[in-house]
Amino acid sequence: MNLMERTEEMMAYAGTLHDELVIIRRDLHSHPELLYDVTRTADIVADLLESWDIEVQRSVGPHFGKGVTGTLRGEAGEGPLILLRADMDALPIHEENDVPYKSLHEGIMHACGHDAHTAMLLGAAKTLSRFRRRIRGSVRFVFQPAEEGAAKSPLDGRLLSGGRDMIEAGILEGVDRCYALHVMPELPVGTLGIHEHYAMAASSHFKIRFTGTPGHHSAPHHAVDALQMATRFVTEVNGLMANKVDPTEAAVLAFGTLQAGTAINVIAAHSELTGTFRAFAKETVAAITDGLRRIGTSIADVAGGSIEMELREGIAVVNDAAEVVRIMSAAVDVLGERQVCTLSPPSLAGEDFGWYLDRVPGAFAFIGCGNAARGIVHAIHQPRFDLDESILVQGARILAKLAVQP
Q: What is the 3-class SS of 237-296, one letter each residue?
A: HHHHHHHCCCCCCCEEEEEEEEEECCCCCEECCEEEEEEEEEECCHHHHHHHHHHHHHHH
Instruction: Cite the annotated binding site for Mn(2+) by residue number.
Output: 112, 114, 148, 182, 381
pLDDT tens, position by position, 88-126: 999 999 999 999 999 999 999 999 999 999 999 999 999
pLDDT band at 4 (very low <50, low <70, confident <90, very high): low
CA distance 346 to 195: 7
67 burial class (0-12, 13-18, 19+ CB within 10 angstroms)? buried
**Structural domains present in the chain:** 3-199+316-403 (3.40.630.10), 203-312 (3.30.70.360)
**Residue 345, preceding peptide bond in cis (omega within 30° of 0):** yes
pLDDT tens, position by position, 228-253: 999 999 999 999 998 888 888 889 99
CA distance 242 to 229: 20
Radius of gyration of the chain (CA): 23
H/E stretch holding 395 reads: helix 391-404
pLDDT tens, position by position, 251-261: 999 999 999 99
pLDDT of residue 248: 85
Angle 398-191-146 (CA atoms, 0-180°, nearest 5)? 65
How large a percentage of the chain has pLDDT more than 90? 92
Contact 163, 86 (CB under 8 A): no
Specify the length of the chain in residues. 406
Closest CA to 263 of 216, 325, 322, 329: 216
Q: Phi, psi (5° rounding) for residue 134?
A: -105, 5
392 burial class (0-12, 13-18, 19+ CB within 10 angstroms)? buried
Instruction: Cite the annotated binding site by residue number.
Output: 112, 114, 148, 182, 381
How large a percentage of the chain has pLDDT more than 70? 99
